[in-house]
Structure 1
Amino acid sequence: MTSVAVKARVTGRVQGVAFRTWARAEAVRHGLSGWIRNEPDGSVRALLMGPAASVADMVRRMGRGPGAASVKDVLTERTDPEPGVSGFRIVG
């Protein structure tokens, strides 16, 4: 099973709609590690690390988001895994 690390930037109405809490629960359910945070420009940024198929599925799920969200776009880029990151947490 190939492990990957992806940084994602989610735009649209994604702040104030429990997006980070929803994403953390989804990531934990899929066995991913990383973090998620709100950005000053109204977007949400996340680091997703884990099996390639699980990361890809999480990116797809983030494209829909929780019920109150209105996702415009999910931009992703492959990155190096961040050492010392375990579990999935909300960082801001």
Structure 2
Amino acid sequence: MTPSLHATVSGKVQGVYFRAWVFDQAKSLGLSGWVRNLRDGQVELLAQGEAPALAAFKERLPGGSPLSRVESVAAEMIDYDKAYDGFEIRG
């Protein structure tokens, strides 16, 4: 099991380069995992890495990309059964 940050972000977070922003933030912190749009308009993400980097990433999420408007972030640490090598944007 790999300690991971799982989060769901709601607000105006689709169609505003939010996933690309998350990708850039994750890469800058040396995190791996993924980010994807959900059908209900939210964005879901899973990040793995060192605890300080995950904490910094979690702190950045409410700010969002310049065009987004984050209304809420539901985030928790979980033990995930797969470890990722890089960070990817999913559909």
Query: TM-score, with normalisation over the residues of structure 1?
Result: 0.91
> Which is further off, 38-47 or 75-84?
75-84
Identity across the alignment (%): 39
Gaps of 5+ in 1: none
Structure 1 residue 72 corresponds to structure 2 residue 71: yes
Which runs of 4 or more aligned residues in structure 1 lie more than 4 Å from their structure 2 counterparts after TM superposition? none
The residue type equivalent to 2:69 in the other structure is S
Contact 1:9 1:74 in 2 (8 A): yes
Residue 77 of structure 1: CA displacement?
A: 1.8
Gaps of 5+ in 2: none
**Alignment map for 1:31-42 (pairs within 5 Å):** 31-42=30-41
Q: What's the Cα RMSD here? A: 1.3
Structure 1 residue 10 corresponds to structure 2 residue 9: yes
The residue type equivalent to 2:57 in the other structure is M
Query: TM-score, with normalisation over the residues of structure 2?
Result: 0.92
